[in-house]
Structure 1
Amino acid sequence: MEFFTKARAIKLRSHNNKYLVADDDQKTIRQSRNSSSTKSRWIIELVEGGSSIRLKSCHGFYLTATSESFLLGMTGNKVIQSQPDSLKELPIEWTPKRVGPKVELRSFGGKCLRANGGPPPWRNSVTHDEPHMNSTLNWVLWDVEPIEVPENGSMKEYLSMMSTVSSVSDDLLSELGSPVSPRSNYNSPRPSFMEKNSHRFSINKAINLFENAKAVRLLSHHGKYLHADEDQESITQDRDGSSKTARWTVEFVPGADKVIRLRSYNNKYLTASNIPFLRGLSGRKVVLTVPHRLDSSVEWEPIHEGNKVKLRTRYGQFLRANNGLPHWRNSVTHDIPRRTSTQGWILWSVDILEILPKSTRPQEISNNETPSTKIQEQEQEQEQAQAKTQAQVKIVDGRTIYYKIADESGNIEDEVEEMCFTFRGNGVEDLSRQLEEEIGIEDLIVCSRNPLNGKLFPLMLQLPPASVVLHLIVVPADSKVGRDLERRGMVL
């Protein structure tokens, strides 16, 4: 309780490193990484004669525990914003309990405020519930961050003051995970001598990743690969790393040893265009092109950072993998990230798919020659060199696994989108472990559906050959259908 008696306003940060926010519809409660928004600020009201509190949002509504199920058949109940007739109503009261450096917030029914993870519709949702699995015990724990409020200021004055710091438009853009508006004021300090030399070292180290590579694939911060879309123009992200559209051929730029070009499966180049991705924002489109002259728009400078790289255009912007709501989700732009939460969006892991034979170096292409002829010549020379030297190549193995998550009774809604990821393990145990990490659910059962009677049966001994495309059903072990499978002895 001491967390709340010393502060007038707080922010609550979940185990997902996201903040509890009150949406503008004045009803929805969810999680967001944007800590600067007024929607993440909660005014504390102590309940007289007790150890409970009330939390009031920036809209003047209270954090409320309802008895309405979040999803039919599941145990979690909705948490909303509401304006009760009386402040003595129990659903707006929460009892804090300290757990180490964090707190639990228990509703009137004894359930805990819970920040959910996993795939939609669970992702970023907030319910009140009891965690039933070890992997979800920390989902009910919150970090409390006090906020300074003027001692003599009212709630209205405080929110008015905060609104001058964070405008509605920038707040909305941050919620979408988008680049900030060009109107934002961003000033970077002049780099020192040591910083300049460190930067040169990062470039030299990064270029070593590409100098012996004939083909690579790039994995974004979100666990998705850079793909050349089959419309032969768009660039996207996708979890399928085995597709030909995730393969990029590396070319070094003549006269610039530390600059590369990336060519897609259809012989088009990764290009930083001048076209705004969305009007009024700073991010610009990254597309596929075959320019008549190979200019700076198809040139990228790798910069090493940790075990990843940044790819910078010749004009100082970076290849950026976006996330958030459509149209940002899975899009790729070139931009400069200005928020702490999006700094990782310009970092890429490099997987080498094919090594360049030692006898072959990238051929120079003069600016007055069309690339298509030279590309064919390069490919023929490289294929001949490969046949002579019989160079060993390193290919990243893997198979694409498609899956859906069943509800308590083993049913799946038709509109639920099938998800996928690249699996590099050998057996059912490895697959179960990777699915637990992918979904965020512990103790699950990996099943397939019998095509004759439609019933679920668990995968137990071994996986089918890699040539067989797997479409799986994931069942939580503590669900009704999971307990039924165990009772019938179908789960080892």
Structure 2
Amino acid sequence: LRSLLLFSPSPERQETKNLLFSAAVERTRPMEQFHHGHHVRLRSSELGTYLHADEDGHGVSLHHRRASMKAAWAVHVYQPPEAFVPYLLLHSAAYGRYLAATDEPAPQGHHGRRVEQRNYDHPEVDAQGMIWLAVLTASGDKVFLRNFNGGCLRANGRYRPWNNGASVDDVDVNDIGNLSTMMHWVVEDIPAREIMPLLPRPAWLTLPAVISPSRVIVYVWLDADGTVLSEGSFSFSGRSVFRLRSELARWLADNGIAIVDAPDLVMCLPTRDGRIFPLVVDLPRSLQPLHIIVVIVGTPAHEVLRYADVDA
């Protein structure tokens, strides 16, 4: 990650790099609202809607529903020695992908450039697009999120509510007091719950496996020291996380790896910095390969898992 900030940005991005390393910004950093490893919601102060990771596994949009894992984002705070301020990466608690600004135009009816969920190892990802700088607004109770590649995260749909996607719009970093209120966000901390939530049961009406779309599941099972006990991949049809857990248990048994009861398996999503968060929602609609880390109930790795209490 440190190498991301040592990369020489293009001239139009130098302004943001200067902001990241500016002592002036240090006085206004709102990092007390972002705690490493915790979960947060981002609520548009103008619309009252929450930033959601879309079910397709790609898009990002705003919705009124608060009690949803799709509205939960895991915080990664990092501050290299050269920087006056720490920066953020925001990791979807639902689908395990990062909030990232792209160079593509936002959809029609939206401002600026497209914002998406991206895997940290996606071949088309500019890793710097996942880096955000949080700065307090003039009122001191909200933040705006400046992307390393330029522009601020903004809501859309003030007058046309059907245009409810998020995007990144260019701003003058020297005039932060006059940013659009559509770029103002309220950060809500999500407390942790002590036990893992129940996985959603599969729907009764499902397509037969022979015609249901499938994706590749890539798994890694590590011991307490980080040694790989088993790794492999298999094809899985459908989106049910409940069925995936059962299929994983069956795969481990059929291949002579281990006999583990499905309820004792916890499937986790890896982050860029090596942390893991439990997968507790159905899989995204996209059929991209899914990478999971296998954790066994009762092990040290299981004891340190953090579960977002989205109903709190």
Length-normalised TM-score, structure 2: 0.49
Structure showing greater radius of gyration is 1
Which structure has more relative contact order (CA 8 Å, sep 6+)? It is: 2
